[in-house]
Structure 1
Amino acid sequence: MLYLIALGSNQRHQRLGLPRDILAAALQRLTVQGLTISATSAVIGSRPVGPSQRSYANAVAIVETAQEPAALLATLKQTEAEFGRRRGQAWSRRVLDLDILLWSGGAFASSDPALTIPHPLMRERGFVLGPATEIAGDWRDPLTSRTITQLHARNRRPKKRPEKAPKRLDHETKHP
């Protein structure tokens, strides 16, 4: 099975170095755990989402494995823990964040909210869609049937502002 995995880091590791270096080390660790890395995107920098003040290093990878989604998620969470990730405040600083974005099996939902494929926020995140376009631009979101390239183009469009209600003229607000 093929999976599209997001990688992110915004905290230096005392042994591994800068976030960019942490992502490279994480990919190496995943291969040691029996996953085949078929392709990796370039690493990009992005602004944080949420309370963190630190910029992120982000990338995506196509991973090949016989593991089912729940088993792969366990592997990814174990890898995060090995790199020093502690569960806590959402979107806070972290040494390593690994998420399953898509897989060749289509959509997947479980009772565990951490395991929903496609990733529920994938369509809103340029820092995921941009790198994903490099290596998996023709992959389709099973819920919208749009390709990653299409999702990225839609995400980059300026958001429409809600239309303002027309101003009422004085004579329109007076009642007889």
Structure 2
Amino acid sequence: MRADWNEASRVVLAFGSNLGDRLENLQGAVDALFDPRGLRLVGLSPVYETAPVGGPEQDDYLNAVAVADTLLSPETLLERAQGVEEAFHRLRDVRWGPRTLDVDIIAYGGQVRTAPELTLPHPRAHERAFVLRPWADIDPGAELPGRGAVRDLLAEVADQEVRRRDDLVLRVPE
């Protein structure tokens, strides 16, 4: 049976890493997530370097955002994202602590919901320049459900430094 991409939902995923080979970790996540079985890449942002937000003192992160179409349910997409984090030895010992890889579902279609396992859109995305800036790069007209235009939200966090790293490039999976 062929996938009916006309039934797909648009999703936004954010990637972050501040342990190990940060760029390799981000690339590994992109390679592992995007395949013909339910998740098709629409756009991949440039890589940004950012200071950590909250948590203990730690090294800077590399961050990127992907926009994709998916046939997966939000729950199945979350399972896939957590499986990729686990494959990269993600530990959840310290809240907002350092990590080899973080994969967050920022938005799933226009869904707005609060559930213990998954809140949509991501509850802090509107406060994080490291999500909003790369997202605006690949989708300047983007809207965060329930919050408004990404470009307007980005203006509200203009004091957060995000440094675009044009020397670091993520490859689009084939």
User: What TM-score does the superposition give when structure 1 sets the normalisation length?
Assistant: 0.79
Match of 2:15 among 7, 29, 39: 7
Find the aligned partners of 2:35 and 2:102 in 1 and give their Cα distance. Answer: 18
State whether residues 110 and 145 of structure 2, in contact with CA within 8 Å, keep that contact through their aligned partners in structure 1.
Answer: no
Give the structure 2 partner of residue 64 of structure 1: 69
- 1:97-137 deviation line (CA, Å, top 9, x unaligned): 0001112133132232xx11111111111111111111123
Give the structure 2 partner of residue 140 of structure 1: 143
Deviation at 1:33, TM superposition (A): 7.5
Bigger CA radius of gyration: 1
SS of alignment partner, residue 94 of structure 1: coil
Give the structure 2 partner of residue 163 of structure 1: none
Give the structure 1 partner of residue 166 of structure 2: none
State whether residues 52 and 91 of structure 1, in contact with CA within 8 Å, keep that contact through their aligned partners in structure 2.
Answer: no
Give the structure 1 partner of residue 129 of structure 2: 126
Q: For 1:32-71, list aligned pairs within 5 A.
A: 32=35, 34=37, 35-49=39-53, 50-71=55-76
96 and 33 in structure 1: CA distance in 2 versus 1, 3 angstrom threshold? farther
SS of alignment partner, residue 15 of structure 2: strand
Deviation at 1:55, TM superposition (A): 0.6
Q: What's the C-alpha RMSD, in Å, of the aligned pairs?
A: 1.7
- 1:84-106 deviation line (CA, Å, top 9, x unaligned): 11221111111100001112133
Deviation at 1:3, TM superposition (A): 0.5
Runs of 4+ with >3 A deviation: none
SS of alignment partner, residue 156 of structure 1: coil
Give the structure 1 partner of residue 94 of structure 2: 89
Give the structure 2 partner of residue 168 of structure 1: none
Identity %: 33
Match of 2:27 among 24, 28, 37: 24
Find the aligned partners of 1:83 and 1:25 in 2 and give their Cα distance. Answer: 8
Deviation at 1:79, TM superposition (A): 0.7
Say how many residue pairs are matched.
Answer: 150
SS of alignment partner, residue 78 of structure 1: helix
SS of alignment partner, residue 37 of structure 1: strand
- 1:123-166 deviation line (CA, Å, top 9, x unaligned): 1111111111111231212213x2111111122169xxxxxxxx
User: What TM-score does the superposition give when structure 2 sets the normalisation length?
Assistant: 0.80
- For residue 42 of structure 1, what is the amino acid of its counterpart? P
- Which runs of no fewer than 5 residues in structure 2 stay unpaired? 1-8, 161-174
Match of 2:107 among 102, 105, 114: 102
- For residue 94 of structure 2, what is the amino acid of its counterpart? Q
- Which runs of no fewer than 5 residues in structure 1 stay unpaired? 13-17, 159-176
Worse-matched range after superposition: 52-61 or 102-111: 102-111
